[in-house]
Amino acid sequence: MGGISYKYDHALDFSEGLAAIKMGNKYGYINTPRDVVIPLKYEAAESFRNNLAKIRFNRCQDIIANTGKEIVPCKYKSVYPIEEDGTL
């Protein structure tokens, strides 16, 4: 993790240039210069794969792009994992 964890409560390894980080009870994402690029507002966050990641927000699951844009509306209790080819 190269020094990520000392600043945050938890951090995943970098994947596709971003790492999920946790501070308190919220997750967000940082880039390799360690700037927060997707705000810490999620209840859970997974690593990016094919520019997509699964998050939990307001007790539902969503898929976001590496820009933070919502891909699957946050209205489902669960979404399927992201496949190798980028399909949901």
pLDDT per residue as tens digits for the range 29-46: 999 999 999 999 999 999
Which among 2, 6, 46 is positioned nearest to 27, based on CA atoms?
Answer: 46
Q: Of 36, 6, 7, which Cα lies nearest the Cα of 19?
A: 36
**In the structure encoding, which two tokens stand for residue 4, read together?**
């990520």
Q: What is the pTM of this model?
A: 0.81
Question: Where is pLDDT greater, at 59 or 20?
Answer: 20
Domain ranges of the chain: 10-45
In order of 9, 20, 36, 65, the CA distances from 79 in angstroms are 26, 18, 25, 15
